Amino acid sequence: MKLKHLLSRKLLENMTEKRRKDHFYFLARRLGYRSRAAFKLKELADRFRIFRRGAVVVDLGAAPGGWIQVAREHVGEDGFVLGVDLNPIKPFPWSNVKLLRLDVTSPGAPQLILEALPRKADVVLSDLSPKVSGVWELDVARQASLVESALKVIDEVLKPRGSAVLKMFQGYSFQEAFKEVKGRFESVKLTRPRASRSSSAEIYAVALLFKGGEG
């Protein structure tokens, strides 16, 4: 038990030390964002002009809420943001932000998300991630499956010529998942935000001009 306690303490110390060196972690705390991931979306929004005032946004894999905060900043009080996650999200004080606790991979998820919106979405965001196993090809395959689930939501809730941002992992299953994204949008760009950790192989597909149906 003593060895287990020492190992847990050492792991906690290592995590704390990494956070001390993480510029985006401290910047998020200082600016009031719930996660450092907020800066990924801020960069993508500035580069690709994903949002507009008054837009309707769906955020998949939204916990703890950093992307919700960024999306709400861009759409303003006249817009609407729906955060969806299997895990609970601490409520926000804004009347135009709604939270939905839901397994995105469940068959009825797209319809339930659509019913929670005031109208079809202008933007769908997906920062969905699997529980990393450490077996890389397995993790890539699991991430590709989450991309597939996100695309099912997009097919149901995104309006024609809308936009999407989807997290992907590079690996064996990547090309097939990327092909599915490209088939649905007129323009798809792959990019890696500066706030992505150097140890992560994540990459984001920024998809513009939804064709309005399954590709």
- What is the C-alpha to C-alpha distance for residues 196 and 177, in angstroms, rounded to an integer? 20
Q: How many other C-beta atoms lie within 10 A of the C-beta of residue 211?
A: 13
Q: What share of the chain is helix, strand, coil (3-state, %, to 5)?
A: 40, 25, 35
The first and second tokens of residue 55, run together, are 């837009």
- What is the C-alpha to C-alpha distance for residues 73 and 50, in angstroms, rounded to an integer? 12
Taking a C-beta distance cutoff of 8 angstroms, is the pair 155, 121 a contact? no
User: Is 21 a residue of the active site?
Assistant: no
Taking a C-beta distance cutoff of 8 angstroms, is the pair 52, 75 a contact? yes
Strands across the sheet with 97-101, in order?
97-101, 80-85, 56-60, 121-126, 158-169, 202-210, 185-191
Of 4, 167, 179, 182, the active-site residue reads: 167
Report, as residue numbers or ranges, the catalytic residues.
167
